[in-house]
Amino acid sequence: MSFMPDFALAAPEIWVAAMICIVLVADLFVPGKNSATSYYLTLLTLAVAAWLTIDAQWGAEAMTFSDMYIADSLGVVLKVAIYGLAALAFVYSRDSLIRNKLMMGEFFVLGLFAVLGMMVLSSANSLLTIYVGLEMFSLAMYALVAFNRNSGTSAEAALKYFVLGALSSGILLYGMSMVYGGTGSLDLGEIAAVAAADGDNILLLFGLAFLIVGVAFKFGAVPFHMWIPDVYQGAPTPVTLYLGTAPKVASVALFMRLIGDGLGAFADQWQTMLIVLVILSLAVGNIAALVQTNFKRLLAYSTVSHVGFILLGLMAGTEEGYAAGLFYAVTYGITAAGAFAMVMLLQRDGHEIGDISDLRGLFQRHGWSALVLLLLMFSMTGIPGTVGFYAKLLVIQAAVNVGHIWLAALAIVFSVIGGFYYLKVLKVAFFDKPEGELEMVAPGGYRAVLAGNGLAVLLLGLFPQALIAVCMAALA
């Protein structure tokens, strides 16, 4: 037995970890306004990490660090999606951070730490690695939510998020200890073997229940969704953008590694739990979103409902279902990034977009950004021609194919209700009379990114083949 683990296999993680230190130090010593060095170094880090990941891990199926770390295609898809969404979040955030005097190297260091945590999570093959990754990313997120130290709501949101998150991590950890108690192993492969052989293992069942609670919290599924509206509204919008996108993919990673890989044999049990989560998330998310007047809060509740859809795909417990959930999370991330960017890049009377009514007259003032908003909202509704349609189609199809027709029908009913509040946003943006100042504050480059984001939603909606193929290949 070689004592030295194969470090090369985990090159992306090592690279990111090293770069975090470099960014941290560089920010201290490199002169320059607004942490431009940190910003570019961060983007470089993500780009190189993507290259390393794809180059070294795509199509591989290898383990290192005493089988605690796995490099496989699923990990690659998850990680590359995380890099992409994180990079998108950083790019969008820059202008807003500078304007609010929050442009500090710490933002990127914490952001990269979260990325690293999510990476570890995506490549975890042991309960221990999962937990390490999860905590690394959660702790960085807590800190990011509190990033605006002078804002009371930000601090309140961070504190709540931290306390609830700590409790949920505790529950998850407890579940892990049950699973360990029941199987005598931390290795997901071995756990799966024991689970397959011993279907009535009561400890595993208990552990599963706790694990689902922990996973549901990370997703923000009802009834563990309480933190989402608070945090989304309270956190600085750049952080909300980040929190609302990449971590959804990470949550899928958490589910697939922990539940899918580890406890796939208990599908009957966790399917029931997930069905409850799906129904509640769809119902509460959609109905509560109807009455929101604050745009960020509306997006928060809509996130809850989208989580319902992601879980609907995962619930199927088939490769098709996992791929659908993954596809949904990735495309939702792209769509949500654009929507939150709208909040940051537009200003009503010198402030960020707060209420939905702040968007009134957007079409008359900034026609193109209204069109982008249209595409984004259509995609969230699931209207054909945008990528959201395929996302919904895939998850519903997955549910139908495992025989949950009524659940699929329910999902459709709720997506109709969901359509209503997205249309409300569009109605305000397109039909209401423009009053007061509604400005696009960011420089031209940001508009280009935003337009590209809208275009991506459209193009992926017309030609989804490639992305679906990638998601399916990840699970094959």
Partner 1 sequence: MTAATSLITLIALPFLGSVIAAFLPSNARNREAWVAGALALGALAIVISLHSAVADGGVVRLQLPWVPLLGLEFSLRMDGFAWMFALLITGIGFLVVLYARYYMSPEDPVPRFFSFLLAFMGAMLGVVLSGNLIQLAFFWELTSLFSFLLIGYWHHTGAARDGARMALIITGTGGLALLGGILVLGHIVGSYELDVVLAAGDAIRAHPLYLPALLLILLGAFTKSAQFPFQFWLPDAMAAPTPVSAYLHSATMVKAGVFLLARLWPVLSGTQEWFWLVTAAGLSTLVLGAYLAMFQQDLKGLLAYSTISHLGLITLLLGMNTPIAAVAGIFHIMNHATFKASLFMAAGIIDHETGTRDMRRLRGLRKALPITATLAIVASAAMAGVPLMNGFLSKEMFYTEALHTTTPFPLLGELLTYAAVVWGIFSVIYSLRFIHGVFFGPPADDLPREPHEPPRWMRFPIELLVLACLLVGVIPGRTIEPYLHTAVQGVLGEATPEYSLAVWHGFTLPLMMSLGAMFGGIALYATLRRFLLNRVDGPPLVRLVGRRIFERTLVFLSWRLARPLEARLFTWRLQRQLLIMVVVTLLVATAVLWGTDFSLPPIDWSAISPGLALVWLAGMACAIGAAYMAKFHRLAALILLGGAGLATCVTFVWFSAPDLALTQLMVEIATTVLLLLGLRWLPRRIKDARSTVRERSRRLRDLVIACVAGGGLGGLAFLVMTRPLPDSIARFFVERAYSEGGGTNIVNVILVDFRGFDTFGEITVLGIVALTVYALLRRFRPAPESIQRPKQQRLAAAHDDAHAARPRGDSIPQHMLVPSVIMRLMFPAAGALAIYLFLRGHNMPGGGFVGGLTLAIAIILQYMTGGTRWFEARWRINAVRWIALGLLCAAATGLGSWLFGHPFLTSHTRYIEIPLLGALPFASALLFDVGVFLLVVGATALLLLALAHQSIRSHRGQGVPAPTVSRKEKS
Number of residues that bind partner 1 (CB under 8 A): 72
Q: Choose one: 42-50, 310-318, 347-355, 408-416; the region binding partner 1 (CB under 8 A).
A: 408-416
Residue 21 interacting with partner 1 (CB under 8 A)? no
Residue 196 interacting with partner 1 (CB under 8 A)? no
Q: Which of 73, 397, 439, 447 binds partner 1 (CB under 8 A)?
A: 397
The structure tokens listed for 86 are 């994180």
Backbone torsions φ then ψ of 355, nearest 5 degrees: -80, 160
Residue 278 interacting with partner 1 (CB under 8 A)? no
Q: Which of 58, 60, 73, 160 binds partner 1 (CB under 8 A)?
A: 160
Written as one letter, the residue type at 90 is F
Q: Which of 24, 48, 60, 287 binds partner 1 (CB under 8 A)?
A: 287
Residue 134 interacting with partner 1 (CB under 8 A)? no
The single-letter DSSP state of residue 361 is T
The pairing of beta strand 438-440 with beta strand 351-352: unpaired
> What minimum distance in Å lies between the beta carbon of 388 and partner 1?
12
> What minimum distance in Å lies between the beta carbon of 166 and partner 1?
10
Q: Which of 52, 145, 178, 376 binds partner 1 (CB under 8 A)?
A: 178
> What minimum distance in Å lies between the beta carbon of 403 and partner 1?
9
Report the helix count and the strand count for the chain, using DSSP H and E: 20, 5
Whole-angstrom distance, CA of residue 263 vs CA of residue 275 = 17
Written as one letter, the residue type at 472 is M
Q: Which of 26, 48, 275, 393 binds partner 1 (CB under 8 A)?
A: 393
Q: Choose one: 62-70, 105-113, 393-401, 441-449; the region binding partner 1 (CB under 8 A).
A: 393-401
Residue 465 interacting with partner 1 (CB under 8 A)? yes
Whole-angstrom distance, CA of residue 320 vs CA of residue 312 = 12
Please list, in sequence order, all residues whose beta carbon lies within 8 angstroms of the beta carbon of residue 445, skipping any fewer than 6 positions away. none
Helices (H), 259-366: 263, 267-290, 295-315, 319-345, 362-365
Residue 368 interacting with partner 1 (CB under 8 A)? no
Q: Which of 73, 177, 294, 364 binds partner 1 (CB under 8 A)?
A: 177
Residue 383 interacting with partner 1 (CB under 8 A)? yes
Residue 412 interacting with partner 1 (CB under 8 A)? yes
Nearer to partner 1, 154 or 347 (CB): 154
Residue 3 interacting with partner 1 (CB under 8 A)? yes
Q: Which of 235, 284, 336, 362 binds partner 1 (CB under 8 A)?
A: 284
Backbone torsions φ then ψ of 3, nearest 5 degrees: -75, -30
Whole-angstrom distance, CA of residue 281 vs CA of residue 276 = 8
Q: Do the Cβ atoms of 147 and 96 come closer than 8 Å?
A: no
Total residues belonging to the chain: 476
The structure tokens listed for 97 are 């951070």
Chain residues 208-247 in contact with partner 1, contact rule CB under 8 A = 208-210, 212-213, 217, 222-224, 226-227, 229-230
Q: Choose one: 20-28, 54-62, 201-209, 448-456; the region binding partner 1 (CB under 8 A).
A: 201-209
Whole-angstrom distance, CA of residue 400 vs CA of residue 407 = 8
Residue 273 interacting with partner 1 (CB under 8 A)? yes
Whole-angstrom distance, CA of residue 152 vs CA of residue 140 = 19
CA angle centred on 370, ends 368 and 376, rounded to 5° = 110
